[in-house]
Structure 1
Amino acid sequence: MSSLLLVPTLLRQLPLDVKLAVLTADSTHCSEDLLGVDGPAERRRVVLGGIEGGTLWQNEMKLPTVPTDAADIETDVAACVRRLRTAHPEIAAILFECTAFPVVAPAIRRITGLPVYDITTVCRMTFESTGMTAGRQIASIQKV
């Protein structure tokens, strides 16, 4: 499952004159075909950014990988968001593609005042569609 499943839905929810920022660990590996959008008009509304070269990225490239503090992830992600918003002030929402980013979603929401979506959004939607909360779903899995 990928948070990129949300791209088409978010674009339809947002006004046509704004953009969605998609943040990845490495934007050079996130091609347009992964976004799930067909038309060039929709594609122009998606802005990709990555934290290539940042602390998290460097630590993940090491073998074995090195744990990264949440504060370092926040620094990397906040810097990327600043760059993207400077270049594209019409960004109205942020989608984290990287599964390491949800830990800093509250901080990025606070810093930007924008809605932030990530893989946990997709997971909550999936759990709630079954009528169960994430906690109850996990508890029922553990019983098996």
Structure 2
Amino acid sequence: MKAQLPRSLGIMNLERGPTPPKPRLGNMLNPATFDFPVIEETVEGGWADAVVRGDAALEPACVAAAKRLVERGAVAISANCGFFIRHQAAVAAAVTVPVVLSSLLLLPTLLRQFPRSSKLAILTADSTNLGEDLLEIEKPDDRARIVIGGIEGGALWRNEMRRPPVPTTSAEIEEDVRACILRLRAAHPDITAILFECTGFPAVAAEMRSLTGLPIYDVNTLCRMAFTSAA
């Protein structure tokens, strides 16, 4: 009789090199982040710089990684970079479990949770590559409520763009994210919630909630929902 595989959250991971940085608490690959099992499969060729800029040639590797995860017992699939959302449709069509490759999928729901007079801030690793096609917000009134800030040029961005990436300290991530939030709130005092696109940001989510007093959503929010809802 074939052994029953444990129900797990499957994560399509970036290429990380021979000695990947140790995931900190809050990172989706740290076993202590979730109260359910997590498994991962590397997307072949999926270096962060290629995923962020939108290399279309990665799509078959994304589908292959997702299928391997399902074979290993994944009941829901996410990804260790919000820019994998470009491959959301292809991966969802290739497997029979819920697929949530990016926190950006939360956008329509979040816009309806808060007054129409308020704004929602998206914090991303690279705002220069976060185009309108990734937001998929059709109504002009909804799009006007979204403001975007990026940490491109900061320590985390520089380190992750390398092949292989090098570790970034929690203090460096917090500095990058804090500065971005403060810039956005100075320009848009009507921000009432924040969405982290980058999967590296949840490691400092608690500190940023304390700083801002605002609700902060991230990929971990979406992963918990997808896993607990899966059959």
TM-score strictly above 0.5: yes
The answer to whether the 8 A contact 1:54-1:76 is kept is yes
Match for residue 127 of structure 2? 27
| Larger relative helix fraction | 1
Match for residue 169 of structure 2? 69
* Structure 2 residue 197 is the aligned partner of structure 1 residue 102: no
Distance 1:128 1:65 in 2: 32
| Per-residue deviation, 1:71 | 1.1
Letter in 2 for 1:64: P
The answer to whether the 8 A contact 1:18-1:45 is kept is yes
1:74-120, CA deviations, whole angstroms, 9 ceiling, x for partnerless residues?
A: 11001000000000000000000011111011110010000000000
Distance 2:163 2:129 in 1: 20
Match for residue 113 of structure 1? 213
Q: Tell me which stretches of 4 or more aligned residues in structure 1 moved more than 6 Å.
A: none
Match for residue 79 of structure 1? 179
The answer to whether the 8 A contact 1:22-1:48 is kept is yes
Match for residue 130 of structure 1? 230
Select 2:153's aligned residue among 53, 69, 80: 53
Distance 2:167 2:181 in 1: 22
SS at match of 2:120: strand
The answer to whether the 8 A contact 1:4-1:36 is kept is no
Letter in 1 for 2:166: V
TM-score (norm 2): 0.55
Of 58-67 and 98-107, deviating more is: 58-67
Task: Calculate the aligned-residue CA RMSD, in Å.
Answer: 1.0
Structure with the greater alpha carbon radius of gyration: 2
Unaligned runs of 5+ in 1: 132-144
State the percentage of identical aligned residues: 63
TM-score (norm 1): 0.88
SS at match of 2:112: helix
Unaligned runs of 5+ in 2: 1-100
Select 1:88's aligned residue among 159, 165, 188: 188
Of 12-21 and 61-70, deviating more is: 61-70
